[in-house]
């Protein structure tokens, strides 16, 4: 997942999880790491970073 797809997915997660979106992405990344799925791990990590970027641009912060 890259570019616009990554951004869209991040926005959907923000809409669904609100302030917990980045934490959710982090938990999913950890789960994928535990399962040895490095590709999914990397995707969830990217999503987490994009979520933080979007929220920073919107003037929101993660807690």
pLDDT at 3: 83
pLDDT at 23: 98
62, part of any domain? no
7, part of any domain? yes
pLDDT at 58: 85
30, part of any domain? yes
Q: Report d(CA 63, CA 22) in Å as an integer.
A: 9
Q: Range of 46's domain? A: 3-57
Query: Is-contact 41 29, C-beta < 8 A?
Result: yes
pTM here is 0.85
Q: What is the mean pLDDT of each run of 10 residues along the chain (63 residues)?
A: 87 96 98 97 97 88 53
Write the secondary structure of 13-52 as one string of H (helix), E (strand) and C (coil).
Answer: HHHHHHHHHHHHHHHHHHHHHHCCCHHHHHHHHHHHHHHH
63, part of any domain? no
12, part of any domain? yes
């Amino acid at each position: 997942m890259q570019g616009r797809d990554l951004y869209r997915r991040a926005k959907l997660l923000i809409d669904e999880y609100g302030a917990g979106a980045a934490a959710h992405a982090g938990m999913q990344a950890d789960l994928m790491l535990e399962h040895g799925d490095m590709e999914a791990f990397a995707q969830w990590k990217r999503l987490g970073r994009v979520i933080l970027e979007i929220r920073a641009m919107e003037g929101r912060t993660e807690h």
